[in-house]
């Protein structure tokens, strides 16, 4: 039988771990036979030494095998999901699931809550009165069969090793390891039972991956893992230097998502959503026009049905903030920069995000971008509208926005939102 200390020492010294060693280690850790202190040491060794492709496949396979796997084989439609690495104003999942379902696919989106300046899909939907994030496996399959899409929390039985490792990485300075990020994301996505997966890997000031090289490496690693485990996988690298759409927060992003499902969404949000929808439908083998589904109302009807199936009232009034503050243009000209990271931090400080997983979030807090890069502005005109239930939060939020807005005498050069495709 392997010994945890021997495996720590081997990885520390740059040796390879065999699939059998990795399988034993993660089984033992999930069962409590390997201590957190020992796994912390191994995670740090992996952070510095990495995992080669064979090790990473074995590591991911062991994480999947640590729990149950959803069986979606009984559905009468091809299954396809999408995962985003997170961004500011990234409400694409709320639109994309119903949109792709309206084109004939079954879309199981097991999502998470926000931490730090990137918002969480579940936090956004929980601003809808009555909506439930926690569903049993049977409920997930039922909603998929009845509606065609579901957005909910991953159950505790899916990749439980990842749940323990994620918490440990968060307190040991090993979050940024690409093999550990890739295995964490892909173990849950593979365990959810989807047949195909499209990854949206964000790049820029409002993304976890700030530089293109790191984002590309992460995308390539995840695509390889998905395909190696029998899930047809591709990735889009998408730009996240500016908030996506005009709403950043929880209820405000739901409102913007509904507008988009009714064919009235902002151009950048629609562009990214349709690009991802096209990739999802192609992987699922479905020949359909997602743009038409945004115009004819079929995507919106799927959204309403999904919300109702999960206990929510799609017609209910959403929470609204008690207090409003504005950030105004200091000069006339063209808005050249609106730093996504700064806007995300400001929204977080207004109450829309959390610093720790157990922190509450405000459904009403957030930011409306009254102008986006490429828009012409006049001195004194509102560029950002800040909303919060607590007016004392404004000063701290405004500090985050110092230097986030740049106005120039000439319009900025247009840059593509879709940077590249990885398959």
Q: Are residue 129 and residue 229 in the same domain, yes or no?
A: yes
Residues 6 or more apart whose CB falls under 8 angstroms from that of 355 comprise: 115, 116, 348
Per-residue pLDDT tens for 36-55?
Answer: 999 999 999 999 999 999 99
Residue 191 above 80 pLDDT? yes
User: Which helix (H) or strand (E) element contains residue 110?
Assistant: strand 107-111
**What CA–CA distance (Å, rounded) separates 68 from 47?**
27
Same domain, 385 and 252: no
- Chain CA centroid to CA 112, Å: 8
Q: Does one domain contain both 305 and 342?
A: no
CA–CA separation, 405 vs 403, rounded Å?
6
Give domain status of residue 383, yes or no.
yes
Q: Residue 163 has what pLDDT?
A: 87
Statement: residue 65 has pLDDT above 90: yes
Q: How far apart are CA 96 and CA 303, in angstroms?
A: 10
How many domains does the chain fold into? 3
Residue 362 lies in a domain: yes
Residue 113's pLDDT is: 81
194 shares its domain with 116: yes
Q: Answer yes or no: is pLDDT of 270 > 70.
A: yes
Is position 75 within any domain? no
Mean pLDDT to the nearest integer, 289-305: 96
Does a structural domain hold residue 211?
Answer: yes
Same-domain pairing of 19 and 103? no
Could you tell me if 17 and 151 lie in one domain? Answer: no
276 and 354 part of one domain: no
Q: Residue 58 pLDDT > 80, yes or no?
A: yes
Q: Residues 87, 202: contact at Cβ < 8 Å?
A: yes
φ, ψ (nearest 5 deg) of residue 36: -55, -35
246 shares its domain with 99: yes
59 in any annotated domain: no
The whole domain housing 123 covers 80-309
- The token duo for 15 is 């040796």
Using the predicted structure, report yes or no on whether residue 353 has a pLDDT greater than 80: yes
Question: Do 334 and 243 belong to one domain?
Answer: no
- Token pair recorded at residue 348: 């977080």
Quote the pLDDT of residue 331: 97
Task: Tell me, yes or no, whether 341 lies in a domain.
Answer: yes
Positive or negative: CA dihedral 388, 392, 395, 397: negative
pLDDT digit string (tens) for 310-319? Answer: 999 999 999 9
Question: Looking at residue 130, what is its pLDDT?
Answer: 97
Query: Which of 25-34, 61-70, 138-147, 357-366 is predicted least confidently?
Result: 357-366
Active site residues: 83, 162, 169, 184, 188
Which of residues 259, 277, 309 is at a domain's end? 309
Q: Indicate whether 202 and 295 sit together in one domain.
A: yes
Residue 335: which pLDDT band, with cuts at 50, 70 and 90? very high
In a domain, residue 392? The reply is yes
CATH of residue 13's domain is 1.20.970.10
For residue 295, what pLDDT band results from cuts at 50, 70 and 90? very high
Average pLDDT score over residue span 175-179 = 91
Tokens standing for 225?
Answer: 């893992």
Residues 356-414 have pLDDT tens digits of: 777 889 999 999 999 999 999 999 999 999 999 999 999 999 999 999 999 999 999 99
**pLDDT for res 402:** 96
pLDDT at 115: 67
Q: pLDDT (tens digit, 9 = 90+) per residue, 83-140?
A: 999 999 999 999 999 999 999 999 999 988 876 677 789 999 999 999 999 999 999 9
Query: Is the same domain home to 304 and 234?
Result: yes
Tokens of 362: 């405000």
Report the C-alpha gap between 21 and 19 in whole angstroms.
5
Q: Which of 50, 67, 88 is the last residue of a domain?
A: 50
What's the confidence (pLDDT) of residue 196? 98
Same domain, yes or no: 256 and 397: no
Q: What is the pLDDT of residue 2?
A: 79
- Condensed to tens digits (0 to 9), the pLDDT of residues 274-294 reads 999 999 999 999 999 999 999
SS (H, E, C) 269-302: HHHHHHHHHHHHHHHHCCCCCHHHHHHCCHHHHH
CB 284 within 8 A of CB 97: no
Query: First and final CA of the chain: distance in angstroms?
Result: 38
Q: Tell me, what CATH number does 120's domain have?
A: 3.40.1030.10
Mean pLDDT, residues 177-182 = 95
Per residue in 219-268, pLDDT tens?
Answer: 999 999 999 999 999 999 999 999 999 999 999 999 999 999 999 999 99
Closest C-alpha to 88, from 234, 192, 238, 190: 238
- Among 279, 309, 339, the domain-final residue is 309
Residue 204 in domain: yes
In CATH, what number is assigned to the domain containing residue 362?
3.90.1170.30
**Average pLDDT, stretch 64-71?**
93
Residue 81: band (very low, low, confident or very high) from pLDDT cuts 50, 70, 90: very high
C-alpha to C-alpha distance for 370 and 376, rounded to whole angstroms? 11
CA distance 156 to 341: 31
């Amino acid at each position: 039988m392997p010994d945890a200390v021997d495996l720590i020492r081997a990885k520390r010294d740059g040796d390879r771990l065999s699939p059998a060693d990795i399988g034993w280690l993660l089984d033992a850790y999930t069962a409590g036979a390997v201590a957190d202190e020992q796994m912390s040491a191994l995670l740090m060794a992996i952070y510095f030494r990495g995992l080669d492709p064979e090790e990473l496949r074995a590591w991911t396979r062991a994480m999947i095998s640590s729990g149950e796997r959803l069986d979606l084989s009984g559905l009468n439609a091809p299954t396809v999901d999408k995962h985003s690495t997170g961004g500011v104003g990234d409400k694409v999942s709320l639109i994309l699931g119903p949109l792709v379902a309206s084109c004939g696919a079954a879309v199981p989106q097991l999502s998470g809550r926000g931490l730090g300046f990137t918002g969480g899909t579940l936090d956004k939907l929980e601003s809808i009165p009555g909506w439930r994030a926690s569903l049993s496996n049977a409920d997930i399959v039922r909603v998929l069969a009845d509606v065609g899409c579901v957005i909910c929390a991953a159950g505790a039985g899916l990749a439980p090793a990842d749940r323990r490792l994620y918490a440990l990485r968060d307190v040991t300075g090993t979050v940024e390891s690409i093999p550990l990020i890739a295995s964490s994301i892909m173990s849950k996505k593979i365990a959810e039972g989807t047949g195909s997966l499209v990854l949206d890997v964000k790049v820029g000031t409002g993304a976890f991956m700030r530089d293109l090289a790191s984002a590309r490496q992460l995308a390539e690693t995840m695509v390889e893992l998905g395909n190696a485990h029998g899930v047809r996988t591709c990735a889009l690298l998408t730009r996240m230097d500016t908030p996506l759409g005009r709403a950043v927060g929880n209820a405000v992003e739901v409102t913007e998502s509904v507008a988009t499902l009714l064919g009235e969404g902002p151009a950048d949000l629609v562009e990214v959503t349709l690009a991802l929808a096209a990739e999802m439908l192609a992987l699922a083998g479905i020949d359909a026009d997602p743009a038409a589904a945004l115009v004819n109302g079929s995507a919106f009807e799927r959204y309403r049905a999904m919300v109702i199936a999960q206990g929510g009232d799609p017609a209910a009034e959403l929470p609204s903030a008690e207090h409003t503050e504005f950030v105004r243009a200091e000069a006339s000209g063209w808005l050249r920069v609106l730093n996504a990271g700064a806007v995300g931090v400001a929204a977080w400080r207004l109450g829309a995000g959390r610093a720790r997983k157990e922190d509450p979030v405000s459904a009403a807090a957030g930011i409306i971008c009254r102008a986006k890069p490429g828009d012409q502005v006049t001195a004194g005109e509102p560029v950002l509208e800040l909303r919060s239930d607590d007016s004392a939060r404004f000063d701290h939020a405004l500090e985050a926005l110092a230097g986030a807005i740049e106005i120039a005498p000439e319009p900025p050069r247009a840059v593509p939102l879709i940077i590249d495709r990885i398959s």
